[in-house]
Amino acid sequence: MSTIKISKDLIISVAKQDKSQFVNETGDMVNKILSSAIEQLSKKVSYINLDNVILQPVNELLNGAFVDNSNFTYILGINNPQLELNTYKKQNFWRNFKERLKYAWKNRKKNRKKRFRFKRKRKVEEVKEVKFDPTKYNIYDLAEDLQNSLLPFLSETSLVTLRDNILRIYGKEDFGVNTAIEIFLANYNTDDVLKFYGGRKKGFIDINIGKRIDNLRIKMKATGKNFTKILKIFNTVFYNVNNFMPNQIYLESVLCFCPNELFKGDDIYKIFLKLINYITVKGLRNIPSINDETKTIYDDEVCGNIGIAFAKTLAIFS
């Protein structure tokens, strides 16, 4: 994989980038389209309405370090205990699947006639409209319904993909060329904890967004605008070395671990090199996550798995 040369001029130019107008305009468009889709969906699904959802920016939109290759990433949090319970039940469904399979195989001859009757009956029922069942509706059902609800409010050339409970929207007419919108569906409660369902193996992953925001505010107040400039530089350099964007919680945790005095000064290039040197000497293994200070960046799932890629990024300056 080829990468561009990481020069002093590049680093200085990245630090000066200001994409706030583009970010604000695109964010307003996302909010408008999503609000319309939710309002339409609420007519069918009682679990969702404009009063019980939050749209939380979670990547460079949150820390202000949006660069050329950044995506617009959000978590759509739904405050509904029944939806969370139904999703949890689905998790238990897969846990018990093996036992039910054993039982079905053991009683296959006994249940054969009943099974055939069910198949014939199902053919008739498939033509009927599927109604909302509040006892079974889970986060995956909501993601599929939201995907369908978004389409009428987007241009015909736009594309909405769905994988598990993650929606991705691509549309140059709606958002601009090479702009991607990611929406992660999650549950949330009143203490700022977003609960993202990561599948039957991982279960619910807690994202303490309030804790992360508090830690970022404290660090930014102590270090000024240089903290955001350094984030932009790391985002750009990391992308050009690895061809994908770094996990922002991982990166924020690393920079919050660095002493405040290292961010002081007017020469952003020298500041960047000082931070590279400090991180390289101290190492990454014991850095706490700003999402959960009882865990390291390698123990906290929301920090992703970019340790090797980040070390590769540091290595080009050594």
Q: How, if at all, do strands 72-78 and 180-188 pair?
A: parallel
- pTM equals 0.81
Contact 31, 56 (CB under 8 A): no
What is the reported pLDDT for 99? 46
- With a CB cutoff of 8 Å and minimum separation 6, the contacts of 230 are 15, 255, 263, 268, 271, 272, 275
What is the reported pLDDT for 93? 46
What is the reported pLDDT for 202? 76
DSSP labels for 251-308? HHHHHHHS-GGGG-SS-HHHHHHHHHHHHHHH-STTPBPSS-TTSBTTT-GGG-S-HH
138-195 tens-digit pLDDT: 999 999 999 999 999 999 999 999 998 999 999 989 998 889 999 999 998 766 789 8
pLDDT surpassing 50 at residue 115: no
Band of residue 219 on the pLDDT scale cut at 50, 70, 90: very high
66: its two tokens: 């949006």
- Identify the residue with better confidence: 200 or 233: 233
Band of residue 90 on the pLDDT scale cut at 50, 70, 90: low
pLDDT surpassing 90 at residue 110: no
What is the reported pLDDT for 274? 96
The single-letter code of the amino acid at 27 is G
Q: Which of 73-77, 86-90, 314-318 has the highest mean pLDDT?
A: 73-77
User: Per-residue pLDDT averaged across 73-78, rounded?
Assistant: 94
What is the reported pLDDT for 154? 95
CB crowding 34-67: b at 16 or more within 10 Å, else e: beebbebbbeebebbeeeebeebbbbbbbbbbbb
231-247 tens-digit pLDDT: 999 999 999 999 999 99
SS3 56: strand
Name the β-bridge partners of 302: none
**DSSP assignment letter at 67:** -
Long-range CB contacts for residues 233-236, cutoff 8 Å, separation at least 24: 233/11, 233/14, 233/15, 233/268, 233/272, 234/313, 235/60, 235/65, 235/67, 235/69, 235/70, 236/10, 236/14, 236/67, 236/68, 236/69
Band of residue 131 on the pLDDT scale cut at 50, 70, 90: low
